[in-house]
Amino acid sequence: MKKKGTIILLLVVVVVIAGYALFSRKTPDAAAARPHYRVTAAELIKEFTRDGAIADKKYTGKILRVSGTVTLVSDGGSVVLGNQGSGAAVVVGMDQRHAGDVHKIQVGDEAVIQGVYSGYEAGGENPEDLLESLGATIQLRSGGMIMKP
């Protein structure tokens, strides 16, 4: 019986140590990591417009370094890259460590932002439906500004 109690105690200790290690580790900084791909916002939008399913498969979970023109800066912590007047855009949610980056740029600036690709919404070809015709929206998370030329 004593052996069974020792095994249970040892198991509890292992679970506690594993749980502590899992919950205490820091999330990697995607903006400081080496990117898997370097693309312009226009190239990325074109790729998703051409075939979103293939582009989605290619970029899922990858770190992208995207350069382009800033079309919107949100106080909520996101930056949009694309072309004024075009509905298609690359939306980057900034990491908390880089939340101050949104104050360094403004609409019309050229910027290079890096983040993890997290999904997209495809736009349609129906000019009658405003929401459907806006174009592809590519989303990155955990972003940070690499540079503002």
pLDDT digits (tens, 9 = 90+) for 14-49: 887 877 776 666 678 888 999 999 999 999 999 998
Distance CA 92, CA 111 (A): 12
For every residue of 66-116, DSSP letters joined together read: EEEEEEEEETTTEEEEE-TT-S-EEEEEEPGGGGGGGGS--TT-EEEEEEE
Instruction: pLDDT band for 10, please (50, 70, 90 cuts).
Output: confident
The answer to whether the CB of 70 falls within 8 A of the CB of 111 is yes
**Residue 1 pLDDT > 70:** no
Quote the pLDDT of residue 148. 58
Instruction: pLDDT band for 136, please (50, 70, 90 cuts).
Output: confident
Instruction: Give the domains, in start order, of the chain with CATH numbers.
Output: 37-147 (2.40.50.140)
Instruction: pLDDT band for 63, please (50, 70, 90 cuts).
Output: very high
Distance CA 144, CA 57 (A): 23
The larger pLDDT score, comparing residue 50 to residue 17, is at: 50
Q: Exposed/middle/buried for 60, CB within 10 Å: 0-12, 13-18, 19+?
A: exposed
Q: Exposed/middle/buried for 31, CB within 10 Å: 0-12, 13-18, 19+?
A: buried
Q: Exposed/middle/buried for 105, CB within 10 Å: 0-12, 13-18, 19+?
A: middle
User: Residue 101 corresponds to which amino acid?
Assistant: D
Residue 2 has which token pair?
A: 């004593």
Entry pTM = 0.76
Quote the pLDDT of residue 125. 53
Q: What pLDDT digit, counting tens, does each position of 68-119 carry?
A: 999 999 888 899 999 877 788 999 999 998 888 888 899 999 999 999 999 9
